[in-house]
Chain A
């Protein structure tokens, strides 16, 4: 079984619809992240969470919200999707409890491809 699972893997929706992307992990990591990948732009951080009660904005949080329902679950929502939110979204985790800079080593999910028409 995958350590970091994202659902759905693919989604096509229309402008103005609410969309939720879900991420769950079995690694026992405390930190979770949502990144967005666009061709030519690399990955950009949307939101991150260091534990259930600690949620922070990344560099491109406008138009997105998140919920950390449990240590193992971190959801990303688009309240009113727009076409420029069409992208590949990645969830990632890391473990602050490991020695050295372990929290900087990310484990990624397979990605959720979202198309907004």
Chain B
């Protein structure tokens, strides 16, 4: 069965420190993965997706098929990065629109 695991419920770092939010998935096919973010008092929104291979707000995420991981990284955390982050995997293949979400990780960036 397809699954997404985010092992950390809370990640707390100091401003300027590197950040890595872990995401592991299980899927035998070719995965399509996303990171969504929910800032305080804002809606859940797309941060980035692996097929775009882009950097958004300084965050990057690389798909590692060997380790079945899609970790989210940022070299220098900012206080405004504090939020809840969800990793998501498309259920099945193609343009299904159905996502499986991980449990979420709260990132707390301390001044």
Q: Which residues of A approach B to under 8 Å, CB–CB?
A: 31, 33, 35, 40-45, 48, 50, 58, 90, 94, 96, 100-106, 108-111
Distance, CA A117 to CA B76, complexed state (A)? 44
In the complex, A105→B98 CA distance in Å? 9
Decide: B86 and A43 in contact? CB cutoff 8 A: yes
From B4, B36, B97, give the contact of A103 (CB < 8 A): B97
Question: Could you count the A-B residue pairs with CB atoms below 8 Å apart for me: how many are there?
Answer: 63
Q: How large is the interface on B (under 10, 10 to 19, 20 to 34, 35 or more residues)?
A: 20 to 34
Pick the residue among B43, B99, B103 that contacts A104 (CB under 8 A): B99
Tell me the nearest residue of chain B to A35, going by C-beta.
B101
Q: 29 pairs across A/B with beta carbons < 8 Å?
A: A31-B97, A40-B9, A40-B103, A42-B4, A42-B6, A42-B101, A42-B102, A42-B103, A43-B99, A45-B98, A45-B100, A48-B97, A90-B44, A96-B97, A100-B51, A101-B49, A101-B51, A101-B94, A104-B32, A104-B34, A104-B49, A104-B90, A104-B96, A104-B97, A105-B46, A106-B36, A106-B99, A109-B43, A111-B43
Tell me if B45 counts as interface (CB < 8 A to partner A): yes
Which residues from chain A contact B91 at a C-beta distance below 8 Å? Answer: 45
- Asked whether, in the complex, the Cβ of A41 is within 8 Å of the Cβ of B97, the reply is no
- A94 and B101 contact, Cβ closer than 8 Å, known pairs A100-B51, A108-B44: no
Q: Say whether B95 faces chain A, with CB atoms less than 8 Å apart.
A: yes
Chain A residue numbers with a CB within 8 Å of B103 are: 40-42
* Chain A residues with CB under 8 A of B97: 31, 33, 48, 50, 94, 96, 103-104, 106
